[in-house]
Amino acid sequence: MANPSILILPGDGIGPEVMAEVRKIIDWFGAKRGLVFDVSEDLIGGAAYDAHGVPLTDEALAKAQTVDAVLLGAVGGPKYDNLDFALKPERGLLRIRKEMDLFSNLRPAQCFDALADFSSLKRDVVAGLDIMIVRELTSGVYFGEPRGIFTEGNERVGINTQRYTESEIARVARSAFELAKRRNNKVCSMEKANVMESGILWREVVQKVHDEEYPEVELSHMYADAGAMQLCRWPKQFDVIVTDNLFGDILSDCAAMLTGSLGMLPSASLGAPMANGRPKALYEPVHGSAPDIAGRGKANPIACILSFAMALRYSFDQGVEADRLERAVETVLAKGLRTADLMGPEGGKPVSTSEMGDAIVAALDADAN
């Protein structure tokens, strides 16, 4: 059987720096666990614009459509700020997400014990936290028609439309139930069925998908505003949260910040299953290209490394290896190794981007022996 395939798109700024550390990890899994990937690399963002005059070539997009998983660093930078809108680095990212029809956005909020004091919440509220927000990504109020700013009488009116079809709700609900089966088997669906018809439909469809296809998963429903309160009050009550595009945007940022630094946050965007049964998938850190620290060895590679752990779990069915990688990250953090963004009042051993990557590889080695 062919090796699983990965397309790496390092992008701009710290993207290539953090991706270099992921390469070390991928090589380790090939050499030490017999998990060999066919890895190819291409350009996206400003790097693609510099080489080809566009932020994503058709060839790179075609590759992304055929591999088992895409790993992306980050795009953007001040050098490209004055480009035409269609040529900006971020357009490359939007195009790849849209063309791959990645409708299910996974944002974990996981708090490593060693970093629990980084959260603005009390240690006992966040230590050991491990929840997953599944946000619908390609529909809802960010896309619904009519939209625009119109004139009515003497004044202007701004309009956006929240619109969801049953099939759009059902597919993201399935994605959440599938995830829950690999985790703690619990889904909480959030909407505003008390005031929005789209919310009533959302609740009905999620319940129907549950009853007909996933009765073994525990399902609850919560209004999104109450969900926001519960996330801050006692986030550990949740396992998987599934919600629409707008609420997901807000709730996932809120949940992410429960855990501390931007340099720690991975994400995945999943689409429909391909012929081999794997979902189309793009994995990327939540952070951007961080031009303020690029090229100085200061970037934290953990968000990108944890994105690869998500790829192991959700694209390659390698949950045990994903656990192994997350354990290695936990180990180096527990030893006090800190990139600059993780330096809190309690101090720690300052390390560069590549030293952090090397330490995680060493922890993998120690764990495997």
Q: Give contact residues for ligand NAD (rule: CB under 6 A).
A: 14, 18, 74-77, 90, 93, 262-263, 284, 287-293, 299-300, 303, 341
Residue 30 parent element (H or E): helix 15-33
Name the residue nearer to ligand NAD (CB basis): 22 or 187: 22
Q: In sequence order, what DSSP letters do the residues of 44-106 get, joined into one string?
A: -THHHHHHHSSSS-HHHHHHHHHSSEEEEEE---GGGTTS-GGGSHHHHHHHHHHHTT--EEE
Q: How far is the CB of 282 from ligand NAD (least distance, A)?
A: 10
Name the residue nearer to ligand NAD (CB basis): 135 or 210: 135
- Catalytic status, residue 239: no
Q: How far is the CB of 263 from ligand NAD (least distance, A)?
A: 3
Q: Which residues share a beta bridge with 38?
A: 5
Q: How far is the CB of 30 from ligand NAD (least distance, A)?
A: 25
DSSP 347: B
- Catalytic status, residue 323: no
Catalytic residue among 12, 68, 239, 249: 249
Name the residue nearer to ligand NAD (CB basis): 14 or 39: 14
Considering only the C-alpha atoms of the chain, give the largest distance between any 2 of them, rounded to a whole number of Å: 75
| Contact between residue 265 and residue 253 where contact means Cβ atoms under 8 Å apart | no
- Catalytic status, residue 341: no
- Catalytic status, residue 335: no
Q: How far is the CB of 322 from ligand NAD (least distance, A)?
A: 20
Pairing mode, strands 279-285 and 266-273: antiparallel
- Catalytic status, residue 142: yes
Catalytic residue among 58, 101, 225, 365: 225
* Alpha helix (H) residue ranges in 158-317: 166-182, 197-213, 224-233, 245-257, 302-314
Name the residue nearer to ligand NAD (CB basis): 81 or 212: 81
Just list the catalytic residues: 142, 192, 225, 249, 253
